[in-house]
Amino acid sequence: MKVLAMMIAGGFGTLARYGLGLAFKNWFGSSSSFPLATLVINVLGSFFLSWMTSLALQNRVSDDLRLIIGTGFCGAFTTFSTFELETHGLFAKGANLEGLIYVLGNLVLGFLAVLLGIFVAREFSSS
Protein backbone atom coordinates (compact mmCIF):
# COMPACT_ATOMS: atom_id res chain seq x y z
CA MET A 1 0.00 0.00 0.00
CA LYS A 2 2.88 2.37 0.83
CA VAL A 3 4.47 1.76 -2.57
CA LEU A 4 1.20 2.54 -4.33
CA ALA A 5 0.85 5.77 -2.34
CA MET A 6 4.43 6.74 -3.30
CA MET A 7 3.65 6.05 -6.95
CA ILE A 8 0.52 8.20 -6.83
CA ALA A 9 2.40 11.01 -5.04
CA GLY A 10 5.14 10.71 -7.67
CA GLY A 11 2.52 11.13 -10.38
CA PHE A 12 1.30 14.30 -8.72
CA GLY A 13 4.89 15.53 -8.36
CA THR A 14 5.46 14.95 -12.07
CA LEU A 15 2.26 16.79 -12.98
CA ALA A 16 3.12 19.68 -10.66
CA ARG A 17 6.58 19.98 -12.21
CA TYR A 18 5.20 19.89 -15.74
CA GLY A 19 2.46 22.39 -14.92
CA LEU A 20 4.82 24.81 -13.21
CA GLY A 21 7.21 24.54 -16.16
CA LEU A 22 4.39 25.42 -18.56
CA ALA A 23 3.28 28.28 -16.35
CA PHE A 24 6.80 29.76 -16.38
CA LYS A 25 6.89 29.52 -20.18
CA ASN A 26 3.59 31.39 -20.34
CA TRP A 27 4.65 34.01 -17.80
CA PHE A 28 8.17 34.66 -19.08
CA GLY A 29 8.02 33.41 -22.67
CA SER A 30 9.75 30.43 -24.16
CA SER A 31 12.61 32.53 -25.53
CA SER A 32 14.21 32.99 -22.10
CA SER A 33 17.47 31.08 -21.94
CA PHE A 34 17.67 31.05 -18.15
CA PRO A 35 16.05 27.88 -16.68
CA LEU A 36 14.12 29.73 -13.96
CA ALA A 37 11.37 27.10 -13.73
CA THR A 38 13.80 24.33 -12.75
CA LEU A 39 15.48 26.62 -10.23
CA VAL A 40 12.15 27.46 -8.57
CA ILE A 41 11.04 23.83 -8.65
CA ASN A 42 14.27 22.63 -7.03
CA VAL A 43 14.08 25.31 -4.32
CA LEU A 44 10.43 24.48 -3.59
CA GLY A 45 11.24 20.78 -3.49
CA SER A 46 14.09 21.43 -1.05
CA PHE A 47 11.69 23.33 1.19
CA PHE A 48 8.96 20.66 1.06
CA LEU A 49 11.39 17.82 1.71
CA SER A 50 13.10 19.48 4.68
CA TRP A 51 9.78 20.61 6.13
CA MET A 52 8.26 17.13 5.91
CA THR A 53 11.43 15.46 7.26
CA SER A 54 11.58 17.90 10.18
CA LEU A 55 7.94 17.20 11.02
CA ALA A 56 8.61 13.46 10.89
CA LEU A 57 11.64 13.81 13.17
CA GLN A 58 9.41 15.64 15.65
CA ASN A 59 6.82 12.84 15.38
CA ARG A 60 4.32 15.38 13.99
CA VAL A 61 3.74 13.30 10.84
CA SER A 62 4.33 9.63 10.23
CA ASP A 63 7.45 8.26 8.59
CA ASP A 64 5.11 6.82 5.95
CA LEU A 65 3.81 10.27 5.06
CA ARG A 66 7.37 11.60 4.94
CA LEU A 67 8.28 8.77 2.59
CA ILE A 68 5.24 9.37 0.40
CA ILE A 69 5.78 13.14 0.17
CA GLY A 70 9.59 13.09 0.23
CA THR A 71 10.39 10.16 -2.02
CA GLY A 72 7.17 10.14 -4.01
CA PHE A 73 6.14 13.75 -4.61
CA CYS A 74 9.47 15.57 -4.13
CA GLY A 75 11.42 12.85 -5.92
CA ALA A 76 9.30 13.32 -9.03
CA PHE A 77 8.88 17.09 -8.62
CA THR A 78 12.57 18.00 -8.48
CA THR A 79 15.24 16.87 -10.86
CA PHE A 80 18.99 16.91 -10.61
CA SER A 81 19.46 15.60 -14.14
CA THR A 82 17.56 18.52 -15.69
CA PHE A 83 19.60 20.93 -13.57
CA GLU A 84 22.82 19.35 -14.85
CA LEU A 85 21.70 19.34 -18.49
CA GLU A 86 20.51 22.95 -18.37
CA THR A 87 23.78 23.99 -16.72
CA HIS A 88 25.72 22.32 -19.51
CA GLY A 89 23.54 24.08 -22.07
CA LEU A 90 24.26 27.49 -20.57
CA PHE A 91 28.02 26.93 -20.50
CA ALA A 92 28.06 25.31 -23.96
CA LYS A 93 26.53 28.40 -25.54
CA GLY A 94 28.94 30.69 -23.72
CA ALA A 95 26.49 32.04 -21.14
CA ASN A 96 29.09 31.56 -18.40
CA LEU A 97 27.69 34.18 -16.02
CA GLU A 98 24.16 32.78 -16.34
CA GLY A 99 25.55 29.28 -15.80
CA LEU A 100 27.37 30.33 -12.67
CA ILE A 101 24.31 32.16 -11.35
CA TYR A 102 22.19 29.10 -12.06
CA VAL A 103 24.54 26.70 -10.25
CA LEU A 104 24.96 28.99 -7.26
CA GLY A 105 21.24 29.80 -7.24
CA ASN A 106 20.31 26.13 -7.03
CA LEU A 107 22.85 25.45 -4.30
CA VAL A 108 22.40 28.56 -2.17
CA LEU A 109 18.64 29.04 -2.59
CA GLY A 110 18.06 25.31 -2.22
CA PHE A 111 20.00 25.25 1.04
CA LEU A 112 18.17 28.34 2.31
CA ALA A 113 14.90 26.60 1.45
CA VAL A 114 16.02 23.61 3.54
CA LEU A 115 16.72 25.91 6.48
CA LEU A 116 13.35 27.62 6.00
CA GLY A 117 11.55 24.27 5.90
CA ILE A 118 13.16 23.22 9.17
CA PHE A 119 12.31 26.59 10.74
CA VAL A 120 8.67 26.42 9.62
CA ALA A 121 8.32 22.86 10.91
CA ARG A 122 9.72 23.87 14.30
CA GLU A 123 7.53 26.96 14.56
CA PHE A 124 4.35 25.03 13.75
CA SER A 125 5.24 22.24 16.15
CA SER A 126 5.58 24.64 19.07
CA SER A 127 2.01 25.89 18.71
Q: Give 13-45 pLDDT, tens digit per residue.
A: 999 999 999 999 899 887 778 899 999 999 999
Nearest CA to 42 among 65, 20, 68? 20
Q: What is the pLDDT of residues 42-70, one digit of tens each?
A: 999 999 999 999 999 899 999 899 899 98
pLDDT at 127: 60
pLDDT at 50: 92
**What pTM was computed for the model?**
0.86
Looking at residue 28, what is its pLDDT?
86
- Going from N- to C-terminal start, the domains of the chain cover 2-125
What percentage of the chain carries pLDDT values higher than 70? 98
Dump the DSSP string for the chain.
-HHHHHHHHHHHHHHHHHHHHHHHHHHH-TT--S-HHHHHHHHHHHHHHHHHHHHHHTTSS-HHHHHIIIIIIIHHH--HHHHHHHHHHHHHTT-HHHHHHHHHHHHHHHHHHHHHHHHHHHHHHT-
